[in-house]
Amino acid sequence: MYQYDDIDKAMVNDRVAEFRRQVDRRIAGDITEDEFKPLRLMNGLYLQLHAYMLRVAIPYGTLSSDQLRVLASIARDYDKDYGHISTRQNMQFNWPKLIDTPDILARLAEAEMHAIQTSGNCIRNTTTDPFAGAARDEVEDPRVTCEIIRQWSTFHPEFTFLPRKFKIAVSATEEDRAAIAVHDIGLQMRRNESGEPGFKVLVGGGQGRTPYIAEEIRSFLPQAELLSYLEAILRVYNVHGRRDNIYKARIKILVNEMGIDDFRAAVEREFDAFRAMGPAGSIDLPEAERARIAKYFAPPAFERLPEESESFEKAKASDPRFAAWARFNLHPHKVPGYASATISLKPNDAPPGDISSSQMDALADIADQYGFSDIRTTHEQNMVLPHLKLDDLYTVWQALEGAEIGSANAGLISDIIACPGLDYCNLANTRSIPVANRIQRRFSDPGRQAQIGELKIKISGCINACGHHHVGHIGILGVDKKGEEFYQLTLGGRADEDAAIGEVVGRGLSTDEVVNAVERVVEQYLVLRLDPDERFIDTYRRLGAEPFKEALYDQAA
Amino acid sequence: MIKLLNLSDGSLIDAPTDDVLDLAHDQDIMTDAPALDGVAVVRLVFPKFKDGRAFSQARVLRTRYGFKGEIRASGDLLPDQAAYARRVGIDTVEDVNDGRLDDFRFALSAYRFVYQPAEEGTPAHRLRGDVL
């Protein structure tokens, strides 16, 4: 992974010193809360319902084991002994004190980490495939591009006071595991006919109150011109994006109001202006610097191993619980004899995405011993060990089980994305975590979960959609009606390469009804599917919402 | 005499008596070129510190139109934005509250390095040994 040089280190250390002074000014009353707010937000510090929340950046979801131990120490020393993985692959701490935050940032800086631009109306953490660098189907490692974007977007002088937040995601595979179509900018790495590297560029996707699937703005952008093209998009957005209404300020609204063709024309004009400045005026990254960064993402020293592992097969045959984990939580690796494993942070009856200090330490130890010290966070609020030998998997799983992070439910109905909801958030209308837990409990039988197969439930406690309900196969949106919590179901949403916004089905359901409703939808799917290989989302695509609505209302009436 | 904060060194200077061309914060100078002939000073405005349009205007003035005169910021610029302003090509800030001079000066020297090329500052990659 990327290692800081003296410049990168100076950058985060200077940030700590600056923030320490900003906190002092705030405590002394030299600046107002209104002025302090954007400054603290750009350091990831929110004021939540009960306390401050600090969001630490995990650039493109990549962590070393030592960095994870530092996060564990922060959870232990400054929080209530746990951290929470966010849908931008970051880690949030829910209980830090304002006065402690500069010290927390200093501890992060020592470990080459930061909380820069994890909030605020600026370019946020770039997200990508958690299996980057390991996935069998990738064109190349997307993290090189992500790190380039991280550096370019850090304290960008022109684009740090945008109309609204700005999120970029990069995918290097046809199967999109980075949800690029619901991002302000989505980049899909590809090669053109001559084999040159570049990107398909999507723009204007997003969730929130007004969800949009991104549109293609360019079918091929040469890799070397990435930054000037990004600047062209950002400039058009900075100048033309709406600032009169916070709910209409995202780039998706601008793209929609201008129309993709006019928007594209405006971007191309800016892009041409960058090109006209020639090499001397270019803001693109020189090839030598790309190569320097790429070096850090060279693959680790994999062994030459057979495609199959005898001990792995034997363990699966003798231990059905391990076999279930291996079936659902593994992802194909590009190197024979290896696999990537999803570490589920979705056990029953715990807030989705939470991980305790001791679990972080345990995972770090496992990564050191078996996984090249490489750890990832996922936008689905899990973690990943990207490089594991098949021969080691049984031992690894037992160690994970020992730390209670061995749940065999990746991608299954209990692997739920949920926002923090009313338990933490001052924007939320309803609670999310208890609903997730009740669904998990209803489907707690592992055999039943396995029978249902891949099914992504996503829960948001308000229309800001932080729980990604718009792209849940089953989405659940919490709404407040006269002081009572109601839940609105959407069906058929997806964040993959066939991204779609889920369709709203029917009236809001009470807290008591919502789990039954989910179960009826699932039971109907089991009746309707052609065979066990037809996933819920495939059945939905084949038949549409109608048969599911019928199931909902027949019995809800 | 109006005092200006000079972003290059944090000093206070007297405003020159040249005529000033005011650009509104919502003027789209990407599409409509401003009349810059004979203009010595362009004044940009931050109606609220959160409104970053003037950052783009400054940069377009420098790169697209090759404007070499003074670019002055007015309005609600926070001290913490001073280095950003300097980097996009803004030279001076109008009406700085005396009580905030130290904060402005701190912000101007808060960072030793910058990552991206802009109107001011050597990007990290060039210091890392890249030769143009």
pLDDT tens digits for range B59-114: 999 999 999 999 999 999 999 999 999 999 999 999 898 889 999 999 999 999 99
In whole angstroms, how far apart are CA B11 and each of A19, B19, B96, B98, B106?
Answer: 24, 22, 11, 12, 12
Nearest-CA residue of chain B relative to A35?
A: B78
Average pLDDT over residues A293-313: 97
Mean pLDDT of chain A: 95
Q: Is B66 left (phi over 0), alpha (psi -120 to 50) or beta?
A: left
- pLDDT bin (cut points 50, 70, 90) of residue A555 is low
Give pTM, 2 decimals.
0.96
B66 phi/psi in degrees, rounded to 5? 60, 30
Residue pLDDT, tens place only, A343-374:
999 999 899 999 999 999 999 999 999 999 99
* Nearest alpha carbon to residue B64 among A432, A37, A270: A270
Average pLDDT over residues A178-195: 97
Average pLDDT over residues A77-89: 95
* Nearest alpha carbon to residue A405 among A344, A477, A472: A344
Residue among A7, A21, A279 minimizing CB distance to B113: A7
Residue among B55, B99, B130 minimizing CB distance to A157: B55
Structure tokens at A55: 């969001």
Nearest-CA residue of chain A relative to B51?
A: A161
Question: B50 Cβ partners below 8 Å, 6+ apart?
Answer: A38, A121, A161
Structure tokens at A402: 């020992």
Residues of B with CB under 8 A from a CB of A: 28, 30-31, 49-53, 55-57, 59-60, 63-64, 78, 80-81, 83-85, 87-88, 99, 103, 106-107, 110-118, 124-125, 127-130, 132
* Disruptive mutation site among B32, B50, B76, B130 for chain A (greatest number of A CBs within 10 Å): B50
* Disruptive mutation site among A158, A242, A275 for chain B (greatest number of B CBs within 10 Å): A158
In whole angstroms, how far apart are CA A63 and each of A74, A141, A344?
Answer: 15, 15, 16
**ipTM of this complex prediction, to 2 decimal places:** 0.97
Q: Is A486 left (phi over 0), alpha (psi -120 to 50) or beta?
A: beta
Residue among B80, B111, B129 minimizing CB distance to A22: B80
Min Cα distance A45 → chain B (Å) is 16
The predicted structure's pLDDT at residue A557: 45
Inter-chain CB proximity B130 and A288 less than 8 Å: yes
